[in-house]
C-alpha cells in the first residue's frame, strides 16, 4: 500500500509545482473564458447561465491538460519502476498491457477531443456552434472513441458481464460493447455538465475516485490501483486552485477525459452498478440536462426552470460555495453507500 500512497504524494507534488507556471502559460496563450453570450443546443441564448457566470471572464481554461499529461507520464514511470525492480504486478485480466492501454487510450483520446473543443470555442467560436464543436459532431466522435474502448474491454480483458446486487452476474455477451460505450459517453458528458461551478466536478471526482481506489486495492489490481493513485494526487493539486474563486478551470480537455476515464475504471473493476451510485452527482446533473433537452425538442417548451441542477440552485438563491460544499457532502454519502453495494456478495 505504501507505494501507491507514495505515487499519490509524488503526483500531488509534481502537479502542485507545475500548476502556477501552467496557469501563466494559459494566460500567455489567451486560453481564457470569453465574455460572449453562450448558446444552448438549439442555438438559443442562455441568460440565466450568463448572469451567474459573467464574473468568470478571463479565468484560464484547459487546466485538465496538465493533469492528463502528468498522470499518464507518472503512471508509465511508476509501472516501469515496478518492472525494473521486479515487483509483482498482479492483474485480474489476461493482459496487463491491455488494461494499461485501455486506461491511457481513454484519458488521452477524450482529452484530445476536449482540447480541440476548448481551442475552437475560444479562438474560432461562431454563432452556429454549440460551445465549439457542433453537438452532434462531438457526440459522434465520443461514440466512436467509446466504442473502441468498449471493444477492447470485451475482447482484450474478456469482460462481457455486469454484476447486479441481489441478482448476481448477468452475461451480456456482445451487447456488453453497446452497454459499455453508452456508459462511457454518458459519464464523459455528465462530468462536463457538472463542471459548471468552482470546485464542483473536481471535488466530486476526488471523492468518487478515492472510493474506487478502495475497490481496486481490495481486488489487488496493480495497474488500476496505481493509475488511480497517481490521478488522485493530480486531482487534489488541481482542486487547490479550482475551489472558489477558481484560478483555473478544467475545460472540456479535462472534463471529457476525466468523465470517460472514471467510467472505464468503474467498468474495469466490474462495478457498473456502484459506478452509478458513487457517481450519483454526475448522474443527477446529466439527467436534469437530458430532461430539459428532450422537453425542448419534443414538447417545444422546457419542463424545468433551468438545468442542470446546480444552475437551478443558483437561480433560487443558493451561493456557489454553498452548492459545491453540499454536493461534496452528498457525494461522500453516495460513496459510502456505493462502496457498501460494491462489497456485497
Instruction: Read off the pLDDT of residues 140-150 as tens digits, 9 standing for 90 and up.
Output: 999 999 999 99
Nearest-angstrom CA–CA distance, 118 and 125: 10
Residues across the chain = 345
CA 56 vs. chain centroid, Å, equals: 21
Q: pLDDT (tens digit, 9 = 90+) per residue, 118-145?
A: 887 776 654 444 445 677 888 999 999 9
Q: pLDDT (tens digit, 9 = 90+) per residue, 171-198?
A: 999 999 999 999 999 999 999 999 989 9
The pLDDT score that the predictor gives to residue 37 is 45
Cα atoms found within 13 Å of the Cα of residue 3, Cβ hemisphere only: 17
Closest CA to 42 of 311, 302, 308: 302
SS3 31: coil
Residue matched to cell numbers 459545491: 324
Pair 193, 308: CB distance under 8 Å:
yes
Q: Is pLDDT of 312 > 50?
A: yes
Q: Is pLDDT of 44 > 60?
A: no
- Mean pLDDT, the chain, rounded, equals 88
| Burial of residue 31, with CB atoms counted within 10 A of its CB: 0-12 exposed, 13-18 middle, 19 or more buried | buried
Q: Is pLDDT of 117 > 70?
A: yes
Nearest-angstrom CA–CA distance, 328 and 203: 7
> What's the rounded mean pLDDT across residues 308-322?
92
The pLDDT score that the predictor gives to residue 52 is 64
> What's the rounded mean pLDDT across residues 315-321?
92
Q: Which residues of 209-246 are buried (b: 16+ CB within 10 A; e: fewer)?
A: bbbbbebbbeeebbbbbbbbbbbbbbbbbbbebbbeeb
Confidence of residue 95 (pLDDT cuts 50, 70, 90): confident
The pLDDT score that the predictor gives to residue 208 is 96
Nearest-angstrom CA–CA distance, 332 and 278: 8
The DSSP annotation for 37-94 comes to: --B-TTS-B-HHHHHHHGGGTT-BB-THHHHHHHHHHHHHHHHHHHHHTT-----SSS
The pLDDT score that the predictor gives to residue 236 is 97
Confidence of residue 46 (pLDDT cuts 50, 70, 90): low
Pair 139, 131: CB distance under 8 Å:
no
Q: Could you tell me which residue, 298 or 334, shows the higher pLDDT?
A: 334
Cα atoms found within 13 Å of the Cα of residue 300, Cβ hemisphere only: 0
Nearest-angstrom CA–CA distance, 43 and 186: 22
Instruction: Quote the percentage of the chain above a pLDDT of 70.
Output: 90
Pair 81, 74: CB distance under 8 Å:
no
Pair 15, 233: CB distance under 8 Å:
yes
Q: pLDDT (tens digit, 9 = 90+) per residue, 231-248?
A: 999 999 999 999 999 999
Instruction: Quote the percentage of the chain above a pLDDT of 90.
Output: 63
Amino acid at each position: 500500500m505504501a507505494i501507491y500512497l507514495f505515487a499519490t504524494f509524488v503526483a500531488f507534488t509534481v502537479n502542485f509545482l507545475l500548476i502556477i507556471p501552467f496557469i501563466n502559460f494559459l494566460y500567455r496563450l489567451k486560453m481564457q473564458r470569453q465574455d460572449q453570450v453562450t448558446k444552448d443546443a438549439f442555438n438559443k441564448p442562455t441568460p440565466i447561465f450568463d448572469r451567474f457566470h459573467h464574473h468568470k471572464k478571463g479565468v484560464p481554461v484547459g487546466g485538465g491538460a496538465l493533469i492528463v499529461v502528468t498522470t499518464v507520464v507518472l503512471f508509465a514511470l511508476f509501472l516501469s519502476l515496478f518492472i525494473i525492480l521486479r515487483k509483482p504486478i498482479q492483474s485480474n485480466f489476461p493482459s496487463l498491457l491491455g488494461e494499461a492501454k485501455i486506461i491511457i487510450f481513454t484519458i488521452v483520446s477524450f482529452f484530445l477531443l476536449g482540447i480541440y473543443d476548448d481551442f475552437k470555442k475560444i479562438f474560432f467560436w461562431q454563432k452556429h456552434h454549440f460551445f465549439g464543436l457542433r453537438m452532434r459532431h462531438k457526440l459522434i466522435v465520443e461514440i466512436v472513441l467509446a466504442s473502441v474502448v468498449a471493444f477492447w474491454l470485451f475482447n482484450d480483458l474478456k469482460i462481457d458481464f455486469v454484476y447486479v446486487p441481489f441478482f448476481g452476474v448477468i452475461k451480456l455477451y456482445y451487447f456488453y460493447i453497446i452497454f459499455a460505450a453508452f456508459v462511457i459517453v454518458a459519464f464523459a458528458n455528465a462530468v462536463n455538465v457538472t463542471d459548471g461551478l468552482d470546485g464542483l466536478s473536481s471535488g466530486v471526482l476526488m471523492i468518487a475516485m478515492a472510493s474506487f481506489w478502495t475497490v481496486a486495492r481490495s481486488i489487488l489490481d496493480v495497474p488500476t490501483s496505481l493509475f488511480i493513485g497517481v490521478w488522485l494526487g493530480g486531482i487534489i493539486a488541481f482542486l487547490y486552485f479550482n475551489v472558489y474563486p477558481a484560478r483555473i478551470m478544467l475545460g472540456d480537455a479535462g472534463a471529457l477525459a476525466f468523465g470517460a476515464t472514471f467510467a472505464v475504471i468503474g467498468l474495469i473493476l466490474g462495478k457498473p452498478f456502484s459506478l452509478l451510485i458513487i457517481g450519483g452527482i454526475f448522474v443527477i446533473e446529466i439527467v436534469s440536462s437530458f430532461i430539459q433537452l428532450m422537453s425542448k425538442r419534443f414538447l417545444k417548451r422546457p419542463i424545468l426552470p433551468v438545468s442542470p441542477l446546480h444552475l437551478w440552485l443558483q437561480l433560487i438563491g443558493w451561493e456557489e460555495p454553498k452548492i459545491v460544499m453540499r454536493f461534496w457532502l452528498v457525494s461522500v454519502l453516495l460513496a459510502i453507500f456505493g462502496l457498501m453495494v460494491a462489497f456485497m456478495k
